Amino acid sequence: MDARLNYFASPTAGKAFKHLMSAGKAIKDSPLPAATQELVALRVSQINGCAVCIDMHTKDAAAAGETSVRLHLVAAWREATVFTEAERAALELADQGTRIADGAGGVSDEVWAAAAKHYDEEQLTSLVVLVSFMNTANRLNVIAQQPAGSYEPGQFH
């Protein structure tokens, strides 16, 4: 499978991606726990069907020490017992924040309150920016049909 577009050959994409990569680094360097970041990035990518981001975030999380059990269960996190209450709150916020276009009504007050119980304002800000960032990255990759499978952990860091 070949991608529809070669973003790396495009001057416009190059300029835009420079800023996106900078935003991604700011999120990585935020006080939101790294494990939570990878779980949320993976979950948003699963919802959006972004194979290349699923590939990237499962490999990066595994390289950082995440267990295969937890990675496999992200898709069914509501029924899984391997996530902390804080992680569950972040995953629910990610689900609702990603499904806005489904007419789901955005993030409910209950979900926001649950996340706010576990994360301070800076971490919540980072979480919201991460969900938004991943939705952007997913759309870029899904529209262009970027192929998955060849990512090496840390390749874009």
CA distances from 47 to 6, 8, 18, 62, 123 (A): 24, 26, 26, 20, 22
> Does 157 score more than 90 pLDDT?
no
Give domain status of residue 28, yes or no: no
Specify the 3-state DSSP secondary structure of 101.
Answer: helix
How confident is the model over 106-135, as pLDDT tens digits?
Answer: 899 999 999 999 999 999 999 999 999 999
Give domain status of residue 47, yes or no: yes
Taking residues 28-56, report their average pLDDT. 97
Alpha-carbon distance 19 to 96, whole Å? 26
Which pTM was predicted? 0.94
Where do runs of H (alpha helix) occur along the chain? Answer: 11-28, 34-48, 51-63, 68-73, 85-98, 109-118, 121-144
Number of structural domains (the chain) is 1
Give domain status of residue 102, yes or no: yes
Domain that residue 79 falls in: 33-144
